[in-house]
């Protein structure tokens, strides 16, 4: 087992209160038998393009930047309910619009809705023809100020969009598919290979011993899919108010296609970003595809300084508590940081990796032909002690020995075979080198105005945290996991389909006070067939001596937000079970438990299918927490008639102990102001807490006051018909809140 001792290794602000970005809201598409009775001539064909030429162009790598890991070809479209697809009405009055998109030879497809406004009760699903991958439901809670919704990729060369609108909807939903991204490259081909992994010089965060805790800053590092075609890395960053504002920092060249796009519309690009949290291997020696279900779509541009290669955004929605986000602290000291330095990144959209540099940093000039950076503004890593970087690592953070952010990756030449000469833009150089607030970090990350040189990181839910409970991870036995088989003459998996006909299994947990389960992780091996996903139910039981009372049951439909080979956004896709991976299933609402409870699964599948969950092998633990349902009787695995031994299943619930407050409530508290632009109607909608009274001011970018009004709590609609299109600044000031936001109308 490979472990690395740390002694040796030594944006938009929330645009409306109910903005949910790409966070999904449950539900299911219409049954196949129902949709088959309606017209099926609803496919739009994308024109052919030369994928081989695209791959050849990508391979040229004309500079030392490491940002543009391109994997998709973009088609510009204008597909909506009036000009494409098919429409029909169900017996209950529900109006349905179905649109099929086909692009021959695509490894995956994803789309960008350039117009997205739904009435309450309406919902959208995206899936492939076999329904092997399903994204959604997306609904009115996914609205963003920009009216955009990027969706992560669906595997295959056919994609179906299904829109359901209730009969009594207050207005007809507006949906336009403005972009279709054809994936011509697999982004995650590196994950399953173990020692053959091209990136085996880059350890996973889980490989580190706990003499120093890097898990918080690892949680701050996120995978970005940009404009549906490009993968980069970013980091969530704290500000001096410690208010949980979801600032996201990355490299500016990730947003401008390696500076090949001059004067890009950063507002538009920011709105097309999908940000993935916790895409991390749960095991060390065997790199396992991490959870892909935790994503937030769309952000607003706050500041970009191309000469520093800095881009600061703000996510459209604060990630919910069960994502367990962390906002990194930082330092603007030039000489006050100390080794070891840790780089955390997502090379070619792979699971999270860590690099280590044990020496003092030096400032150098990073020279490339595409951009003239500030002189002596990049930290140079002359040679990594552990790891290297790759395409897709751009924008990734570099932390000092105090776990504070000191730089972000611009580029370099390092590889596993030659881990030399990488360059990170120095955080302090982007702090206030420009006096323009849209080109500096200081204005946004130091709103308190304090003259402090360092800031610690922030857990935005520290007062009501979520915990991942595990009977395996906590024992540091992730590398001992197995998929156990029954001994002869029996056949099949101990915790899967087998000749004993046992199909239900559970893992035992205990809490010492009332708790709520937000969802559950399952870590599964690649035992399922390629074409036949078994039907699996997740089940939650309560019981003192065994699983007794069924509290909750739902279909195991993990939908991963993948770096689509067709676009650089992650689409929510139903995962195939024929690969080793970690999946997270969020429950529609938290499940209340107390004392002893059980998280399990029931397999409803034919003999041609298979499914199992990793477990600890015999001899790894003396404590049994795994259960098998034998007929109507639950038995401990330690008492199994054919294979008795103590073990645990890799099933990890995420729980919180907040009294009466849901995660959505917590998320809304991070930003109590909602702002939404209705451009077609030339109106501005402002939403304040009910008891709040505040002053609203609208400024031009030159600082001229254009509008001012006193607002009471609740929603207020203001006319903006007298103002020309452009960028404006809104300020809301009250006794209990202060909020400033740039808007575009």
Assign domain 32-48+72-183 to its CATH superfamily. Answer: Spermadhesin, CUB domain (2.60.120.290)
pLDDT at 56: 61
- Structural domain spans, the chain: 32-48+72-183, 191-455, 466-656, 675-684+725-745
CA separation, residue 224 to residues 144, 276, 313, 395 (Å): 18, 6, 12, 9
581 CB-near residues (< 8 Å, 6+ apart): 288, 289, 290, 523, 524, 526, 575
User: Is it the case that residue 473 has pLDDT exceeding 90?
Assistant: no
Three-state DSSP state, 482: strand
User: Is it the case that residue 665 has pLDDT exceeding 50?
Assistant: no
Most confident of the ranges 20-29, 530-539, 711-720? 711-720
94 CB-near residues (< 8 Å, 6+ apart): 164, 165, 166, 167
pLDDT at 306: 95
Q: Which of 364-378, 468-482, 724-738 has the lowest mean pLDDT?
A: 468-482
CB atoms within 10 A of CB 260: 12
Scored b (16 or more CB within 10 A) or e, 660-695 reads eebbbebbbbbbbbbbbbeeeeeebbbbbbeebebe
What does the mean pLDDT of the chain come to? 81
Cα 577 to Cα 598: distance, rounded to the nearest angstrom: 23
Strands 310-315 and 247-250: antiparallel
Q: Which of 19-23, 177-181, 430-434 has the lowest mean pLDDT?
A: 19-23
Scored b (16 or more CB within 10 A) or e, 11-25 reads bbbbbbbbbbbbbbe
Domain 466-656 bears CATH identifier 2.60.120: yes
pLDDT at 442: 96
CA separation, residue 665 to residues 113, 490, 660, 668, 682 (Å): 27, 50, 10, 5, 30
User: Is it the case that residue 476 has pLDDT exceeding 80?
Assistant: no
231 DSSP assignment: E
Residue carrying the six token digits 């004309």: 62
User: Is it the case that residue 460 has pLDDT exceeding 90?
Assistant: yes
Most confident of the ranges 178-182, 325-329, 670-674? 325-329
Residue carrying the six token digits 């543009």: 68
pLDDT at 605: 65
CA separation, residue 639 to residues 262, 462, 506, 599, 646 (Å): 68, 41, 14, 19, 9
> E strands of 415-465, at which residues?
420-426, 454-455
pLDDT at 138: 86
Q: Tell me which of 192 and 440 has the higher pLDDT.
A: 440
Q: Using an 8 Å Cβ cutoff, are 72 and 565 in contact?
A: yes
Average pLDDT over residues 539-566: 78
Average pLDDT over residues 665-671: 37
pLDDT at 670: 39
Strands 329-331 and 404-412: parallel
pLDDT at 235: 98
Is the CA virtual torsion 200, 53, 570, 555 positive or negative? negative
State the DSSP string of 275-331.
EE-----S-SSS--B-----EEE-EEEEEEETTTTEEEEEESSPPPGGG---BBEEE
Average pLDDT over residues 334-348: 89
359 CB-near residues (< 8 Å, 6+ apart): 339, 382
pLDDT at 574: 61
Q: Using an 8 Å Cβ cutoff, are 126 and 160 in contact?
A: yes
User: Is it the case that residue 39 has pLDDT exceeding 70?
Assistant: no
- Same fold yes or no, 32-48+72-183 and 191-455: no
Model confidence at 298, in pLDDT bands (50, 70, 90)? confident
- Between CA 189 and CA 196, with CA 195 as vertex, the angle to 5 degrees is 45
Model confidence at 711, in pLDDT bands (50, 70, 90)? confident
User: Is it the case that residue 501 has pLDDT exceeding 70?
Assistant: yes
Cα 674 to Cα 18: distance, rounded to the nearest angstrom: 8
Pick the CATH number of 191-455 from 2.60.40.10, 3.40.50.880, 2.40.50.100, 2.40.10.10: 2.40.10.10
pLDDT at 689: 74
Average pLDDT over residues 249-278: 89
Average pLDDT over residues 657-669: 45
Q: Tell me which of 229 and 495 has the higher pLDDT.
A: 495
Bridge partners of 714, per DSSP, are: 688
Average pLDDT over residues 562-577: 50
Q: Count the alpha carbons within 13 Å of 345 in the hemisphere toward its beta carbon.
A: 33
Average pLDDT over residues 183-211: 61
């Amino acid at each position: 087992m490979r472990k690395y001792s740390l002694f040796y290794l030594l944006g938009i602000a929330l645009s409306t209160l109910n903005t949910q970005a790409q966070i999904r809201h449950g539900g299911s598409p219409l049954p196949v038998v129902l949709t088959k009775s309606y017209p099926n001539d609803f496919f739009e064909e994308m024109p052919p393009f030369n994928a081989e030429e695209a791959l050849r162009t990508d391979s040229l790598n004309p500079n030392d930047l490491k940002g543009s890991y391109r994997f998709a070809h973009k088609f510009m479209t204008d597909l909506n309910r009036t000009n494409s697809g098919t429409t029909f009405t169900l017996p209950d009055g529900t109006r349905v619009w179905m649109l099929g998109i086909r692009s021959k030879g695509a490894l995956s497809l994803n789309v960008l809705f350039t117009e997205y406004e739904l009435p309450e009760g309406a919902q959208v699903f995206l899936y492939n023809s076999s329904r092997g991958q399903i994204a959604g439901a997306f609904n009115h809670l996914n609205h963003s100020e920009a009216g955009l919704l990027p969706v992560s990729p669906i595997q295959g060369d056919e994609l179906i969009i299904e829109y359901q609108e209730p009969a009594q909807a207050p207005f007809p939903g507006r949906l336009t598919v403005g972009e279709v991204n054809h994936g011509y490259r697999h982004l995650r081909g590196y994950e399953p290979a173990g020692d053959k992994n091209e990136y085996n010089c880059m350890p996973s965060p889980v490989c580190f011993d706990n003499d120093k805790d890097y898990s918080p800053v690892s949680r701050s590092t996120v995978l970005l899919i940009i404009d549906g075609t490009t993968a980069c890395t970013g980091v969530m960053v704290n500000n001096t108010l410690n208010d949980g504002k979801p600032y996201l920092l990355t490299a500016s060249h990730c947003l401008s296609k390696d500076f090949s796009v001059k004067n890009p519309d950063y507002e538009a690009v920011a709105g097309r970003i999908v940000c993935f949290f916790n895409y991390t291997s749960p095991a060390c020696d065997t790199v396992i595809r991490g959870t892909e279900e935790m994503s937030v779509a769309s952000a607003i541009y706050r500041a970009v300084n191309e000469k520093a290669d800095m881009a600061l955004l703000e996510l459209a929605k604060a990630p919910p508590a069960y994502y367990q986000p962390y906002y990194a602290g930082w330092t603007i000291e030039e000489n006050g940081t100390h080794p070891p330095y840790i780089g955390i990144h997502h090379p070619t959209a792979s699971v999270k990796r860590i690099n280590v540099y044990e020496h003092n940093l030096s400032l150098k000039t990073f020279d490339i032909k595409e951009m003239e950076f500030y002189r002596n503004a990049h930290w140079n890593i002359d040679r990594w002690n552990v790891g290297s970087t790759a395409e897709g690592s751009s924008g990734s953070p570099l932390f000092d020995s105090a776990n504070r952010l000191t730089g972000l990756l611009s580029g370099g030449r390092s590889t596993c075979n030659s881990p030399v000469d990488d360059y990170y833009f120095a955080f302090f150089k982007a702090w206030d080198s420009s006096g323009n607030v849209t080109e500096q970090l200081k204005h946004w990350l130091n709103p308190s105005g304090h003259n402090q040189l360092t800031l610690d990181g922030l857990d935005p839910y520290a007062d009501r945290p979520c915990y991942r409970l595990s009977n395996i991870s906590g024992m540091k036995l992730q590398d001992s996991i197995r998929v156990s088989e029954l001994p002869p003459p029996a056949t099949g998996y101990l915790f899967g389909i087998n000749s004993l006909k046992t199909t239900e299994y559970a893992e035992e947990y205990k809490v010492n006070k009332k708790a709520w389960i937000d969802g559950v992780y399952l870590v599964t091996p690649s035992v399922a067939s390629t074409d036949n996903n078994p039907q699996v139910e997740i089940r939650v039981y309560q019981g003192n001596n065994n699983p007794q009372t069924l509290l909750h049951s739902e279909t195991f439909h993990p939908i991963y937000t993948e770096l689509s080979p067709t676009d650089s956004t992650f689409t929510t896709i139903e995962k195939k079970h024929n690969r080793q991976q970690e999946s997270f299933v969020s429950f529609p609402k938290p499940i209340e438990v107390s004392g002893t409870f059980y998280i399990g699964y029931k397999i409803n599948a034919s003999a041609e299918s298979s499914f199992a969950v990793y477990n600890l092998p015999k001899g790894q633990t003396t404590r049994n927490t795994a259960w098998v349902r034998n007929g109507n009787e639950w038995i401990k695995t330690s008492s199994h008639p054919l294979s008795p031994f103590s073990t645990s299943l890799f099933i990890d619930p995420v729980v919180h102990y907040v009294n009466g407050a849901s995660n959505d409530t917590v998320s809304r508290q991070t930003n109590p102001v909602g702002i939404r632009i209705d451009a077609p109607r030339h109106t501005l909608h402002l939403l304040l807490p009910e008891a709040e009274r505040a002053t609203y001011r609208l400024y031009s970018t030159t600082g001229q006051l254009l509008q001012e009004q006193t607002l009471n709590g609740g929603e207020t609609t203001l006319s903006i018909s007298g103002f020309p299109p452009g960028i404006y600044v809104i300020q809301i000031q009250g006794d209990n809140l202060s909020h400033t936001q740039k808007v575009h109308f």
